[in-house]
Amino acid sequence: MMNQPLSRRDFLLKFGVSAAAANFLFSLPSLGWAASTSARKQRIVFLFSPNGVIPKHFWPEKEGRDYDIKRILQPLAGFKDQMMTLHGVCNKIQGDGDGHMRGIGCLLTGVELFPGDIQGGSDTPAGWSQGISIDQYLKNQMQAVPEKQTRFGSLEFGVMVPDRADTWTRMSYAGPNQPVAPISDPYQMFDKLYGQSKNRELLASVLDDLSEDFRRVENLISSEDRRILEEHVAMVRSVEKELQTELEQSKKHGDVGHAIPEMPANVETENDNMPQIAKMQIELLVNSFAADFARVATYQITNSVGNARMRWLGIDEGHHGLSHEPDKNETAYEKLIKINTWYAEQVAFLAKRLAETPEPDGSGSLLDNTTIVWTNELGKGNSHTRNNIPFVMVGGGLGFDTGRALKFNNVPHNRLLMSIAEAMGHPTDSFGNPDYCGDGSLTGLV
């Protein structure tokens, strides 16, 4: 009988690397040869932008491979062969909450909101979602498989998401009544990803100083105190040894697909810095995928009813306010096209960075094994419709037959969530409200 191959964690522990160090080292791509997997890595990013789109300038008119790219999607024209648009996918979830609340709170969960006391417009108040979101479902499923385990499982990025916690600001859920807050401060995200190693470098320096201090006082104290001190010095030296092993390994492998990104200093999380914050977060996301820190991510730009003022586009009004203007307001209409085009530019920048970043094992680019799912809480802002929810996919992570514009006939978005789970290797008989899952996952995607 053949021996079972060791996982990366077991391999490191077997060869004398401490458990503390293994927690950091087992994610390094350069140690991937110790993993027991021959399957390719699959990654997915759910990217959210708010307040609906301008359908006339968003959706292709032609179906199939010879599809046309409208004005809003022009930034993605270079990815036409790796892109797929899905028209006719609808969020049919009813119940409590206003359209924006159900739009974002049910978007990735596919299930109703709990009754609650958050009042939206003239609709019934509501609370958090009643179920897990697809990103967290995939995280849990993948973390349960040794070959797919990563350091964090999933990462939740935000761009100018308000500090407040309410139904309009959360799209990711660990379970019923369990919203997951995105990290909107890139420095906070950097510290989550890389701060541990930096802090350990500082700790190693502190321990060096402690050892020197101990040596200076050992002749000045009683024999009993000296014994206690010697035990403490032994403990410190043990910690030092572990730290040195870890730091040497991280430095040795630090240039193998795992370069820590440079962060510009003192960028405040404020409206006018939104373009720079968006790019900083994208760089951190791409680096986290290259380092195999996670294979699932959400990237949330503002929030449902997000009211960013895109002065860098020459627009002083808030996005949400503009989205309520009638189509006949030509000035507002033009500004909304520009706003949505800017969102498409962020998707395109993420796709570009993934495409130009090689897989650590040499099997193509990160984009070849990553799918970006760009979506929204509404189909159109001034009507608050949740029909024809924007779903645009870029990249090869799901293995879908890209390079096409597809049109469905008013299908529940639950079926798309099921298709995503299936494509990631974790099929489910239903996702969210089972009443909308009876026809199974969507056909025609592969």
The residue among 204 and 372 whose pLDDT is bigger is 372
Per-residue confidence (pLDDT) for residue 120, from 0 to 100: 78
Q: What is the pLDDT of residue 172?
A: 98
**Is the pLDDT confidence value at 51 over 90?**
yes
pLDDT (0 to 100) of residue 22: 45
pLDDT bin (cut points 50, 70, 90) of residue 233 is low
273 or 25, which is more confident: 273
What pLDDT is attached to residue 10? 54
**pLDDT of 5 strictly over 90:** no
pLDDT (0 to 100) of residue 261: 78
Q: Is the predicted pLDDT of residue 265 greater than 50, yes or no?
A: yes
Q: What is the pLDDT of residues 313-360, one digit of tens each?
A: 999 999 999 999 999 999 999 999 999 999 999 999 999 999 999 998
Q: What is the CA angle 80-84-88, rounded to 5?
A: 140
More confident residue, 164 or 224: 164
Query: Mind listing the domains of the chain with CATH numbers?
Result: 43-299+333-436 (3.40.720)
- Is residue 256 within 8 Å of residue 32, measured between CB atoms? no
Does 257 score more than 80 pLDDT? no
Question: Has residue 404 got a pLDDT over 50?
Answer: yes
Pairing of strands 43-48, 391-394: unpaired
48 within 8 A of 300, measured Cβ to Cβ: yes
Mean pLDDT check: name the lowest of 86-90, 247-251, 273-277: 247-251
Q: Say yes or no to pLDDT of 211 above 90.
A: no
Of 49-63, 173-187, 244-258, the range with the lowest mean pLDDT is: 244-258
Contact yes or no for 432/91 (Cβ under 8 A) = no
- The residue whose two tokens read 């609808």 is 90
Tokens 């807050």 label which residue?
Answer: 181
pLDDT-wise least confident of 152-161, 208-217, 243-252, 286-295: 243-252
Does position 32 have pLDDT exceeding 50, yes or no? no
How many percent of the chain have pLDDT more than 70? 78
Residue 259 has pLDDT above 70, yes or no: no
So what's the pLDDT on residue 123? 75
Q: Which pLDDT belongs to residue 351?
A: 98
385 neighbors 328 (Cβ within 8 angstroms): no
Whether the per-residue pLDDT at 209 is higher than 90: the answer is no
Mean per-residue pLDDT over the chain, rounded: 86
Q: Is the pLDDT of residue 124 over 70?
A: yes
333, 256 Cβ separation under 8 angstroms = no
Query: Across residues 206-210, what is the average pLDDT?
Result: 59
- HSE (CB half, 13 Å, CA atoms) of 131? 19
Q: Are 41 and 359 within 8 A, CB to CB?
A: yes
Phi and psi at residue 55, to the nearest 5°: -55, -40
> Is the pLDDT score of 192 beyond 80?
yes
pLDDT for 4 equals 46
Q: Is 288 a residue whose pLDDT tops 80?
A: yes
- Return the sign of the alpha-carbon dihedral for residues 192, 193, 194, 196: positive
Instruction: Give percent above pLDDT 90 in the chain.
Output: 70
Tens of pLDDT, residue by residue over 152-190, are 999 999 999 999 999 999 999 999 999 999 999 999 999
pTM of the model: 0.81
- A 10 A CB-CB count for 68 gives 11
Over range 284-291, report the average pLDDT. 94
Distance between CA atoms of residues 308 and 270, nearest Å: 10
Cα angle at 286 between 285 and 290, to 5 degrees? 120
- Of 153, 120, 158, which Cα lies nearest the Cα of 137? 153
Which residues have CB under 8 Å from 272's CB, separation 6+? Answer: 311, 312
Instruction: Say whether pLDDT at 232 is over 70.
Output: no
Task: Report whether pLDDT(107) > 60.
Answer: yes
Lowest mean pLDDT among 75-89, 93-107, 233-247, 414-428: 233-247
